[in-house]
Each structure stands twice: as C-alpha cells, then as structure tokens.
Amino acid sequence: MVAGNFPSSRLRRNRKSAWSRNMVRENSLTVNDLIWPIFIQEGKNTSTKIASMPDVSRLTIDLVIENAAMAKDLGIPSIALFPQIPEELKFDDGREAINPENLVCRAVREIKEQVPDIGIICDVALDPYTTHGHDGLIKNGYVDNDLTLEVLINQALVQVKAGCDIIAPSDMMDGRVSAIRGMLEKEKYFNTTIMSYAAKYASAFYGPFRDAVGSPPSIQGGKESYQMDPANTDEAIREVIMDIDEGADSIIVKPGMPYLDIIDRITRELKFPTFAYQVSGEYAMIHAAAANGWLDVDRAMMESLIAFKRAGAIGIWTYFAPIIAKKLNLS
C-alpha cells in the first residue's frame, strides 16, 4: 500500500465535503443487505411488547403478514420467523417442532399466500419447543447429537413443505447440515437453501431473545457443550468448512459485533457467502445506551451495521431492519 507523505498527501482533502466522502466510501449498506427477524405468537390481532427489546413485539400471524407486506414494500428481501410456543405444547422431546400444523408452518403458509414474493427463513432448532430450553434432546443429562438429528430433519421437512424458502439450522449439532441436505435431496427439494449458523458462539448476548421466545432465563447445564467457545477462531473455520462440505449455501456468524474478526477471517480465507446476526443483546445495548443519553441511536445503528459490511458480511440479520430500510429509501 502506498500511503503518501505530508504535505503532498493530505488525507483530509477527501473528507472535506459530504459529496467527496461519498465518492471515496469503501463500503455501503443497502436494503438488499437486510434480513428482518420477526417473533410470532398464537392468537389474533395481538401485539405483545418485549420489555428487553424496545420497539420489538411478538405478533400474531395476521400482524406478521402485515409486516411481511411492509418488508416487501421496503425492499427487504427476506424475513426470519421465531415462535413463542405455548407452555402446554412444550415437551422434553420438542414434539411440536415436527407438527405440520405448528405455529411456524401455519405462518409460512399464510404469508406465502398473501405475500408470495417475500423470502421466508425458518429456524431449525428445538429450544422454543422444549421444556428445558436446549436446542436438542437430552439423554443422561447430555444433549444427544445423533438423536437430535432425526428430529431436526423432520422439523426442516415440515417447514419446507409449508413453503419455507431458506432452512437455517441454529442448533449446532454436528452433521445437521448433511442430514438436512440429504433429506431435501431425497424429497426433491433441490432448490431449498440452507443458511447454517456455522459459527454460533455460547454467548451472553442472547438474553433478550430468550425472553422473546419464552425460553427459560437460566438453562440447566448451559449450551457450551454444543455452541462454540468465544475464545476460538480456528474452530470457527473448521465449522464453516464442514458445513460447506455438507451442503450449506451460506453461513451465519452469531453474535455479530463481538465476532467481526471471525466474519473477516471467513470471508477472506474461504470466500463464502457470510451473514452476520446482530443479536438481541447487541440491539438492546444500543437502545439502553440511547435511553440514557449516552449515544445517538440512529448513528450507532448505522455505524454498527456498516461495520459488518466492512468485515466482509454480505448481509445482516437485524431487528433494526425496518427502520434502516426506511432511512435508506429516503436517502
């Protein structure tokens, strides 16, 4: 790299005016970069505020359809659905996850009927459906990898039959991408995309999400036996390579902001489509700081998202999606 020498080179020249800054901007954020996670609940015409996530609510299917239509009008390519399952439908074996009439499947069918051109991403994991809040089945006090795979295959199958466009396994079981891809091939869903949570860390930043889907605030044993250690980077590369080899079409790094180095390394070394998930805790922190007058929420929101693009992400899961889209469409 040639940096130049002062005074012949003055880097501030290009920063003098808004138009000149725009001309040399290296990264930009567009509406096409956004994925909007939406929480769904049972009922009709009901919106329930999530206390730990300002401006985010759980919505009944009829209201989710309205938001899907708004996303389409704003140019947001896809939405991701996360359910709050009634307590009476939660069991240790997560059986509601494979019910073709469960909340997610009904929502997918109704959205596709009303807003056919919006992409729908479905989460594959058992935590919203289990009494214990783990992503898999427990045997002898341990989340059993291979027993869980069978349930995940069937969960993905009912979702794709309902019309889901992208299957997003977030469970972090070994071999789940291969198992799901094998099922999709067998069932002739050749064009269904798998966007795997390949590098999902055992993070402290998931608390508000667990409020939103009704998972236990404290999960016995934690999730460290299947989610990744925050200290590791080489392991993330191995996880991503395995998921690519097993049939993933793109991958997700979760959380986002504390793991910009992981996004950067994956995109530089593997040149594979990589998405960042700006998780609930990241979203809540920005709002909490803004509520105390410590930062400007709009500027912090935009700066945090451009950081993901700068690190190499091709897209971002963010609860700010509709707000960002409106701002981008006005600019």
Please give the Cα distance from 82 to 215 (Å, whole number).
12
For residue 111, CA distances in Å to 45, 72, 195, 241 come to: 15, 11, 20, 34
The secondary structure element, H or E, covering residue 211 is helix 207-213
For residue 18, CA distances in Å to 13, 22, 183, 235, 299 come to: 11, 6, 52, 42, 16
Please give the Cα distance from 36 to 46 (Å, whole number).
19
Catalytic residue, from 90, 112, 223, 254: name it: 254
Helix, strand, or coil (residue 268)? helix
Please, are residues 246 and 152 in contact by the beta-carbon 8 Å criterion?
no
| DSSP tag of 21 | H
Please give the Cα distance from 198 to 67 (Å, whole number).
28
Half-sphere exposure of 236 (CA within 13 A, CB side): 28
Residue 254 designated active-site:
yes
Residue 161 designated active-site:
no
Please, are residues 196 and 251 in contact by the beta-carbon 8 Å criterion?
yes
- Structure tokens that stand for 176 in this block: 């789940």
Catalytic residue, from 90, 200, 223, 309: name it: 200
Please give the Cα distance from 57 to 53 (Å, whole number).
8
Estimate to the nearest angstrom the gap between the alpha carbon of 113 and the chain centroid.
Answer: 24
Residues with active-site annotation: 200, 254
